[in-house]
Amino acid sequence: MRAIGFRRGLVAGLLGALMALVASPGAMADEPGEVRTVVDGGGQRQWVHCAGTGGPTIVLVSGLAADHTMWSRVFDRLAGVSRTCIVDRPGLGASPARVGSRTVDAGDQARELRAALQAAGETGPFVLVAHSYGGLIGRAFRQQQPASVAGLLLLEAVWPGIDRDFLPSYASPWHEAGTALDITAGSRAARGPLAPTPVLVIAAGKPGNGSAQADDAWTKRQRQIARTAHAPLWIARGSGHVVQRDEPGIVVRGVQYLLEKTTRTS
């Protein structure tokens, strides 16, 4: 598995999270409207957990090699605000292994995410909360289905072209769960304007890319993402890269901010 820049501190935590599953495959209804099940869609079988009521539906998009357990400190809080869903990508968490091609990109994964949500009966509109590598998937989803995306929270998100304009160790492909991720193709799928979709960028105060120079470059890029998207930038000053674990409150507030924006513009 290729080592990329922030893996010294981050990916050890991400991979450790894979060993701490809080639910197993198979349909379970915990409360009215709550479901945890493996669905078939987009040629893959993926585990989906949805809870809560109201809309737009919040969709949590995990980072590289991460599953639903990475969101354990925010899921229930967000489900108390609006309908909230998370999908484990093939081979991660409670989802079966990928079938078919072992090389995919963020555009493929965005289509698979959409198919899983549809198979679970979730029609949107959606507010996507996209963490780290999930930022490419969230952007690609928005480019493919702009009318269904009511808001986009880019949470310590990577950007199109990161494989070419950041650290050499970020070169494509990346890997998760036995699958090669074509970051060059994924960047193409994710490119394009985000307006008029409301966007919020949340960056970590301590991103943990291995050096102060790399962290400064990462933070500058987060600022550039916000400027390009005409979006506010919030800094989680005490947080490392996994903001939803370190400072869950700022993530909840960010989602509430986007939900308020969608209410005012609808």
Give me the half-sphere count of Cα atoms (radius 13 Å) on the Cβ side of residue 146.
10
The strand order across the sheet containing 84-88 reads 35-41, 44-51, 84-88, 57-61, 126-131, 149-155, 199-204, 233-236
Q: Is the pLDDT of residue 44 over 90?
A: yes
Phi, psi torsion values for 71, nearest 5 degrees: -105, 15
* ω into 232 cis (within 30 of 0): no
Nearest of 153, 168, 152 to residue 217 by alpha carbon: 168
Q: Is the pLDDT of residue 24 over 60?
A: no
Nearest of 170, 162, 250, 169 to residue 205 by alpha carbon: 250
Helix %, strand %, coil % for the chain, to 5?
40, 20, 40
pLDDT in tens, 51-91: 999 999 999 999 999 999 999 999 999 999 999 999 999 99
Q: What is the pLDDT of residue 1?
A: 34
Which amino acid does the sequence have at 209?
N
Provide mean pLDDT across the span 199-216: 95
If pLDDT is split at 50, 70 and 90, which confidence band does 32 have? low
Provide mean pLDDT across the span 237-255: 97
Q: What is the pLDDT of residue 12?
A: 32
Q: Is the pLDDT of residue 17 over 60?
A: no
Which amino acid does the sequence have at 246?
D
- To the nearest whole number, what is the mean pLDDT of the chain? 89
H/E segment holding residue 202: strand 199-204
- What span, in angstroms and rounded, lies between the C-alpha atoms of 93 and 114? 18
Nearest of 59, 49, 51 to residue 32 by alpha carbon: 51
Q: What is the pLDDT of residue 266?
A: 54
Nearest of 8, 263, 62, 50 to residue 176 by alpha carbon: 62
Q: Is the pLDDT of residue 11 over 90?
A: no
- What span, in angstroms and rounded, lies between the C-alpha atoms of 131 and 137? 9
Q: Is the pLDDT of residue 2 over 80?
A: no
Judge if pTM exceeds 0.85.
Answer: yes
Tokens of 196: 């008029």
3-state secondary structure of 149: strand
Q: Is the pLDDT of residue 8 over 70?
A: no
Provide mean pLDDT across the span 137-161: 98
- What span, in angstroms and rounded, lies between the C-alpha atoms of 265 and 244? 27
Q: Is the pLDDT of residue 33 over 90?
A: no
Which domains, and CATH codes, for the chain? 5-265 (3.40.50.1820)
